[in-house]
Chain A
């Protein structure tokens, strides 16, 4: 297990180095940075002086090395737009996105898995067929459309929930949370519903398909032949076998949630990292874009490694393989 973990961490470092290279190259796509830093009338000597002061005269790999070393310490330089450290900007925005994604992910699991089980156990029933039909809508409608529809119904017509923003937030250290106030919680509902809808339907359909597959296996038939109660057969014998592929997809989709959060944050003017990124793109604010890229990649890598470790918890066969591989 330890050997497996170490191997995964080494792989992750290489992935992050590659991502950092792409982020670093972004700065060069925007043209010579010296042009934007000196006056238009500056002489060649003045330009060279600036270039030397910024270390831009050095070979590319030295510049890359310095970028990686600083990035590893969380230093992505100053935002070109508002001249504040990029790391501070991201830290301010991170809690909003994290809370939104967390609630959406939780909703998709807590609602998606039970609905999937329900539709798998009673495939012919009216409720199962209705759910299957509704889930098709959920999976095919673009999220920005559902978001706008949600605003129309619950904010404009019914006037129950706010249509934008985070409501009142409470600061706990550097983390600002919307969980502790009523307006904060109310503000979370519509964006997280919009964000989770696609995942929820995906998980529901996946659980349904996997569960039906598992219920046909010999070990389920043998469990029935031993007279075990249905409750145990469904939730103890079948569910655990169902969850292994579900976790894979969920891990991959969790990264997708962060990516989709850009759209949700735009629709609901949610002050998160996604909204920050969209602003950065429109202003050509490369340090912010680079830092966002690196941060999101890091989250992806961490999630995928955790998912691989979770397999071992669920599937004893992999536990043994990992132990053998470690020797």
Chain B
């Protein structure tokens, strides 16, 4: 059974100048054990999609349409207390900045043990055993001693390992990793990504990996969803999307990754900027920047077409046979 299905999800923020849709008609699915990468530039709606799935959209933002289904059960309409029981236990989350994600006045052990006890109902001693075990699994040396120390006594990379342990310690089926390596040194980034991939394989947890780093996606993900201006514009297997992008935006994104070799005169970039949420054009949001723009692009918004595994939202692929 599909682990997670998101259908037609729209998140709205009411404001003084009318309400604004942070994400619009987002549909995606995650299979058990799969790593789904989500890329896009800042403000494209990647993190907002993650926040909507885990039920932690900052008020006054709210889900205005669509549905989210976890293992066959609809979760977007659950009361807060029921949703709380799902968070941590069935859907975990890894945050961006390990320096600020851990509570400075509680020991690493206290934070782990509390999370384990909340969801698994173990005795304190058993929860402590499990916490030590998790610290070992995420690669913290001498976990028996380190468990009673405070977050400030860990380095940034070690803290992110603790964050990962905290996200996985109640054995969720899905974990949403929101830019898990952005705040880390490049050398540490590779370690954290390798750890995440190894744990996903060992535990069978599915991962939604939110990032703007195509390199991380290429190395880690099975499938990738590309977001632009609050919508998914292309979904597909990583190898295919990287080698043969179908949406002009994805194409531009791939072309803008600098490659090792002869140095070009200037770095490739997509001209223009992503429209702000309250100023999206009526047609395709990418149309003003698109080199292949033609008549229907400014008139109608292209639907995401194709199978759940591979789809693209572009008039080029539907109107003009490839």
Contact = CB atoms under 8 A, between A and B. Distances in A.
B92 A226 contact: yes
B95 A226 contact: no
Contacts of B102: 219, 222
Contacts of B56: 221, 224-225
Interface stretch (B81-89, B193-201, B223-231): B81-89
Contacts of A320: 150, 152-153
Contacts of A227: 84-89, 115, 118-119, 170
B101 interface: yes
A315 B166 CA distance: 22
Nearest to A243: B105
Contact of A223 (B100, B103, B170): B103
Contact of B93 (A222, A228, A232, A315): A222
A219 B104 CA distance: 8
B105 A228 contact: no
A241 B95 contact: no
Contacts of B106: 236-237, 240
Contacts, number: 80
Interface string A211-250: 0000001110111111111101000110011000000000
Contacts of A327: none
A226 B104 contact: no
B54 interface: yes
A327 B153 CA distance: 18
Contact of A222 (B105, B119, B152, B163): B163
A28 interface: no
Chain B interface category by residue count: 20 to 34
Interface in B103-121: 103-107, 114-115, 118-119
B167 interface: yes
Nearest to B115: A226
Given A226-B88, A227-B89, A320-B152, A218 B95 contact: yes
Contacts of A59: none
28 contacts: A219-B104, A221-B56, A221-B95, A222-B95, A222-B101, A222-B102, A224-B56, A224-B87, A225-B56, A225-B167, A226-B87, A227-B84, A227-B86, A227-B87, A227-B88, A227-B118, A227-B170, A228-B115, A232-B114, A236-B106, A236-B114, A240-B106, A241-B103, A314-B105, A315-B105, A317-B104, A320-B150, A320-B153
Interface of A: 217-219, 221-230, 232, 236-237, 240-241, 314-317, 320
Nearest 5 A-B pairs (CB), nearest first? A227-B88, A227-B87, A225-B93, A218-B100, A226-B88
Given A219-B100, A241-B103, 15 more contacts: A218-B101, A219-B104, A221-B95, A222-B163, A222-B166, A225-B87, A225-B93, A225-B95, A226-B92, A226-B167, A227-B88, A227-B170, A237-B103, A237-B106, A316-B150
Interface of B: 54, 56, 84-89, 92-93, 95, 97, 100-107, 114-115, 118-119, 150, 152-153, 163, 166-167, 170
